[in-house]
Structure 1
């Protein structure tokens, strides 16, 4: 067998046990705070939030101000909520922290709103940590661990054999890809000329596509919880979402009316939300995790996939411009297209999904997975 020609990102595609351990650790250290703008202030690039750090006193445990460094996500939230250009704030964070403090504090003093600040303590009892998101007080918190457990209950209820294909966890989102060994179709036309860029195996030797679904959630304001049909090509284990069929729940709820300070989600609200996620998982499996649906999705891809690409560099440039891929991604798609040896629009689609599997940035990879079928159709039109 040919030696691998391209590599899969080593920091991604973690296992379910590793994901759950990470989520449990985060859950144990997390603290959510509702705070009026006037009670917050920046100091040395940190966000100081009153009554968020456990403090042992002679009369018991009290709460002292917490010191939370601003993550890039939280810094973006501060910029968006206070209408300060985020690129400017990032430059200040890197080059002029005192001016960052001045800017943030000046606009906080002029604001009468309350915000939800999602934080992670360095450890359970620490007064220091990281502000990982700066959000509206209407943001509906649906945590990754709860979403995952609710989805697993839905899988158990549906009674279909499902395996974990891969998991990714970033500061912005959680992604869990499920695949069923019971839901597979043959795709010889789609894969006859394709070769895995990772180990050289040929699609003609294993022309199988499996059905599955992608679970996605954000705890920090980057999109809704969602479930989407997902296909995996077995010869290379690249995957892509199917354009139709996504269901989900937007992270917007009623304005939080608790007093300022640490807040916990309503048990009644969370119970209803998690029941919804469980039932939507069951519906997703029953509607999309079947051979008929996967066969229709594959046939839809095959209609455009056979178009020969005679000018790969030009076609990939057109596709990249239309889908806003970076120059680095465009160059990687060309390299994967050449390694994949399928000189068709389908080969460009395969190159997009294999780049998605190989890059370090899981958020960028998700976007490429979800645009792969669009890349196919654009390539067929431009070829």
Structure 2
């Protein structure tokens, strides 16, 4: 499992972000796009009687382009080659768009451009709700935690639930909680299997809570101005939802969930990779959108592991995740391991046959 922040480091960054972030619900006519000669973009918001300028992150640029139905490749080409044309296009569509947008900012930059119906399920509130539950798990280990530009991850293991998959090959139960404040995924709670021999993490794809960030419109009514939302305005139903998250966390590390997951993992030992392992990994790469470097890395771990079975392939995928530089992408490889243990025999046969 890829290393991340310490628990203290996570808490400190969550508190820092809490003090720095601000959300606005803005009629698009009150937004203006401005690009300088170096391609740096800003959103100018008529806020509090004056114009306030915010830088724009790459993700927010993509979301803005999507909202205005401008192909992102063309958006980026204009940004680098014709910034005046970009501003003309964006501002023209902003003035003709009658929508209200939620603008999420952090450190003086727009980090997300979302629908006004986007329901904020924020990282600080989530951590405040679930960390006490996680800390009550028997002998809990906080194996890996991270805050990326798009998501927060909490990955914990409890040694109380353990299973020997093969002689000397022991796995333990855990849970992974992830959330995005910027519209880049659902809030989810999923069981985790942690393999002691190589510190692999596998995210189980079933028995999970997945919550969309869609709710009722906020800041509506007759007022056409800007609504600024602080974190202390979170609704009571959000708090009730976080209570439900705590219940799901406890279920994710239950003995029932762990036994179901380990049984699926054990079944992969009986799925021989009877064909060419190079071809099998090529098919895997095609089906799950692995690039050439990732395909080579998985193949290397499969060959060096010496286990040409479904179990060997699962472990090759999850072991390779530790080498992936990007934490979000590394977590996707842990989740890919969970997808593989869900395959039935015919699906394994198709994977092997290509």
Q: TM-score range by the shorter chain?
A: 0.7 to 0.9
Q: Tell me whether 240-249 or 133-142 shows the greater mean CA deviation.
A: 240-249
* Counterpart Cα distance in 2 of 1:100 and 1:119: 22
Number of equivalences? 339
Q: Structure 1 residue 167 and structure 2 residue 145: aligned?
A: yes
Say if 2:104 is the partner of 1:118.
yes
Contact 1:305 1:380 in 2 (8 A): no
Q: 1:78 to 1:239 in 2, by over 3 A?
A: same
By how many angstroms is 1:303 displaced? 1.4
Match of 1:140 in 2: 119
Tell which deviates more after alignment, 98-107 or 372-381. Answer: 372-381
* Whole-angstrom CA distance in 1 between matches of 2:111 and 2:6: 24
Shift of 1:353: 0.9
Larger deviation, residues 26-35 vs 301-310: 301-310
- Normalising by the residue count of structure 1, what TM-score does the alignment of the two structures yield? 0.82
* 1:237 maps to 2:199: yes
Mapping 1:200-279, distance limit 5 Å? 205=168, 207-257=169-219, 259=223, 260-264=225-229, 269-279=234-244
Q: Which runs of 5+ in 2 are unaligned?
A: 36-40
Report the alpha carbon displacement of residue 297 of structure 1 after superposing the two structures with TM: 1.4
Q: Distance in 2 between matches of 1:349 and 1:301?
A: 9
Partners of 1:70 and 1:97 in 2: CA distance: 14
User: Residue 187 of structure 1 aligns to a residue in which SS?
Assistant: strand
Cα-to-partner distance string for 1:16-71 (whole Å, 9 max, x where unaligned): 2112212221111111111111111111221111226xxxxxxxxxx632211211
Taking structure 1 as reference, are residues 317 and 375 closer, same or farther at Cα in structure 2, changes over 3 Å only?
farther
Whole-angstrom distance in 2 between the partners of 1:18 and 1:94: 36
Q: CA RMSD in A?
A: 2.3
* Superposition deviation, residue 266 in structure 1: 7.8
Alignment of 1:333-372 (within 5 A): 333-372=298-337
Contact conserved, 2:33 with 2:87, CA < 8 A, in 1?
yes
Match of 1:290 in 2: 254
Cα distance between partner residues in 1 of 2:61 and 2:233: 32
Separation of aligned partners in 2, 1:337 and 1:95: 45
Using structure 2 for the length normalisation, give the TM-score. Answer: 0.88
The question of whether the paired residues in 2 share the 8 Å contact of 1:176 and 1:214 is answered with yes
CA–CA distance in 2 between the matches of 1:70 and 1:266?
Answer: 21
Gap change, CA 1:284 and 1:132, over 3 Å in 2: same
Shift of 1:330: 1.4
Matched residue, 1:301 = 265
Inter-CA distance 278–19: structure 2 relative to 1 (3 Å threshold): same
Determine the C-alpha separation between the residues in 1 that align with 2:247 and 2:299. Answer: 39
